[in-house]
Amino acid sequence: MKTINHKPSTFLSIANCQCPRCRQGNIFTHSTFNLAQFTKMNERCPSCNFKFEIEPGFFVGAMYIGYAMSIAVFTTVCVAIVILSNFFGFATSVMMYVSSIIIATIVMIPINFRYSRVLMIYWFGGEQAKYNPELASQNK
């Protein structure tokens, strides 16, 4: 039995889409880059049996986080186009902005989907989603 002496980093646990309670089990069943199945989640943590959908409709709130992430993408793309057009001296058009935003949004769908849900669990999971070191050490 391996004991964990340090608390795993919250940032790395979120980045790796791991369970907020034990920080070992994966929230999602497949990779982000598996475009056919990137939405599939484990119902419960494979390591500590924590139920990820804490209450019915819990992930509806993740849409708001996803919306904020989409706005961040829009803003980043627009600022990048302005900076690049000034630096390289090319003319911009509304179509350039719109098409760039649409492409960036489509490319970001898997990341946006997954991290909005992961952040929803970490931020709004309540006491039951808090890190529990006893659970982290009992399964290894």
Residues between 10 and 29 with contacts to Zn ion, criterion CB under 5 A: 19, 21-22, 25
CA-CA distance, 134 to 138, in Å (whole number)? Answer: 6
Could you tell me the smallest distance in angstroms from the CB atom of residue 87 to Zn ion? 46
Burial of 104 (0-12, 13-18, 19+ CB in 10 A): middle
Instruction: Decide: helix, strand or coil at residue 22.
Output: coil
* Residue 30, token pair as written in the block: 């497949």
CB neighbours (10 Å) of residue 29? 14
Which residues inside 86-115 make contact with Zn ion, applying CB under 5 A?
A: none
* Shortest spacing between CB 138 and Zn ion, in angstroms: 11
Between 22 and 101, name the residue whose CB sits nearer to Zn ion: 22
Q: How many residues belong to the site for Zn ion (CB under 5 A)?
A: 8
Q: 47: Cβ–Cβ under 8 A, 6 or more apart, which residues?
A: 19, 22, 24, 25, 135, 139
Q: Which of residues 15 and 72 has its CB atom nearest to Zn ion in the complex? A: 15
What's the min distance (Å) between Cβ of 118 and Zn ion? 13
> How far apart, in whole angstroms, are the C-alpha atoms of residue 46 and residue 41?
11
The least distance separating Zn ion from the CB of residue 76, rounded to whole angstroms, comes to 32
By beta-carbon proximity to Zn ion, the closer residue of 30 and 73 is 30
Residues 24-83 that bind Zn ion (CB under 5 A): 25, 45, 47-48, 50
Chain contacts with Zn ion (rule: CB under 5 A): 19, 21-22, 25, 45, 47-48, 50
